[in-house]
Amino acid sequence: MTVATFDQPTSTAHLTRQDRCDRCGAQAFVKATLATGDGMELLFCGHHFRAHEQKLVAAGATILDERHRIDEQPAERV
Ligand SMILES: [Zn+2]
Protein backbone atom coordinates (compact mmCIF):
# COMPACT_ATOMS: atom_id res chain seq x y z
CA MET A 1 0.00 0.00 0.00
CA THR A 2 1.31 3.34 -0.99
CA VAL A 3 1.22 6.09 1.55
CA ALA A 4 0.96 9.54 0.12
CA THR A 5 3.03 12.12 1.87
CA PHE A 6 3.03 15.84 1.54
CA ASP A 7 6.76 16.10 1.86
CA GLN A 8 7.52 15.49 -1.74
CA PRO A 9 7.78 18.48 -4.02
CA THR A 10 4.39 19.69 -5.08
CA SER A 11 3.59 18.66 -8.58
CA THR A 12 3.22 21.35 -11.18
CA ALA A 13 -0.49 20.72 -11.08
CA HIS A 14 -0.87 22.52 -7.80
CA LEU A 15 -0.18 26.10 -7.04
CA THR A 16 1.11 26.82 -3.60
CA ARG A 17 0.92 29.70 -1.23
CA GLN A 18 4.32 30.73 -2.52
CA ASP A 19 2.89 31.30 -5.97
CA ARG A 20 1.99 34.93 -6.32
CA CYS A 21 0.06 36.88 -8.89
CA ASP A 22 2.49 38.55 -11.28
CA ARG A 23 0.31 41.64 -11.27
CA CYS A 24 -0.56 42.34 -7.67
CA GLY A 25 1.30 39.83 -5.50
CA ALA A 26 -1.82 38.16 -4.12
CA GLN A 27 -1.84 34.41 -3.89
CA ALA A 28 -2.04 32.94 -7.36
CA PHE A 29 -4.75 30.47 -8.25
CA VAL A 30 -4.27 30.34 -11.99
CA LYS A 31 -1.17 29.51 -13.96
CA ALA A 32 -1.08 30.25 -17.65
CA THR A 33 1.62 28.66 -19.75
CA LEU A 34 2.08 30.63 -22.91
CA ALA A 35 2.11 28.82 -26.20
CA THR A 36 5.22 30.67 -27.26
CA GLY A 37 8.46 28.78 -27.71
CA ASP A 38 9.85 29.33 -24.25
CA GLY A 39 6.66 28.21 -22.53
CA MET A 40 6.70 31.20 -20.24
CA GLU A 41 4.47 30.86 -17.21
CA LEU A 42 2.34 33.60 -15.77
CA LEU A 43 0.64 33.48 -12.41
CA PHE A 44 -2.61 35.23 -11.65
CA CYS A 45 -4.92 35.74 -8.75
CA GLY A 46 -8.58 35.15 -9.53
CA HIS A 47 -9.16 38.83 -10.18
CA HIS A 48 -6.31 39.32 -12.62
CA PHE A 49 -6.93 36.07 -14.41
CA ARG A 50 -10.43 37.25 -15.20
CA ALA A 51 -8.93 40.46 -16.52
CA HIS A 52 -6.58 38.59 -18.85
CA GLU A 53 -8.44 35.36 -19.51
CA GLN A 54 -9.73 36.18 -22.97
CA LYS A 55 -6.33 37.31 -24.19
CA LEU A 56 -4.63 34.24 -22.77
CA VAL A 57 -7.12 31.82 -24.24
CA ALA A 58 -6.99 33.59 -27.57
CA ALA A 59 -3.23 33.24 -27.51
CA GLY A 60 -3.55 29.50 -26.98
CA ALA A 61 -2.11 29.51 -23.48
CA THR A 62 -2.52 26.43 -21.33
CA ILE A 63 -4.57 27.40 -18.31
CA LEU A 64 -4.24 25.72 -14.95
CA ASP A 65 -7.25 27.00 -13.09
CA GLU A 66 -7.31 26.28 -9.39
CA ARG A 67 -9.71 29.00 -8.40
CA HIS A 68 -11.96 26.35 -6.91
CA ARG A 69 -9.33 26.15 -4.18
CA ILE A 70 -9.72 29.77 -3.15
CA ASP A 71 -12.43 28.86 -0.67
CA GLU A 72 -10.35 26.04 0.74
CA GLN A 73 -7.65 28.33 2.01
CA PRO A 74 -7.51 28.59 5.76
CA ALA A 75 -8.05 32.08 6.98
CA GLU A 76 -4.68 33.69 7.15
CA ARG A 77 -4.56 37.02 8.85
CA VAL A 78 -1.39 39.01 8.85
ZN1 LIG B 1 -3.60 39.87 -9.06
The pLDDT tens digits for 42-76 are 999 999 999 999 999 999 999 999 999 887 756 65
Antiparallel, parallel or unpaired: β 62-65 and 41-44: unpaired
Average pLDDT over residues 6-28: 79
* Domain-embedded: residue 10: no
In a domain, 65, yes or no: yes
The answer to whether residue 56 sits within a structural domain is yes
Q: Which of 38, 43, 46 is nearest to 70 (CA)?
A: 46
Q: Which residues surround the ion ligand 1 when the cut-off is CB under 5 Å?
A: 21, 23-24, 26, 45, 48
CA of 2 to the centre of ligand 1 (A): 38
Pairing, β 30-33 against β 41-44: antiparallel
Could you list the residue range(s) of the whole structural domain that residue 67 is in? Answer: 30-72
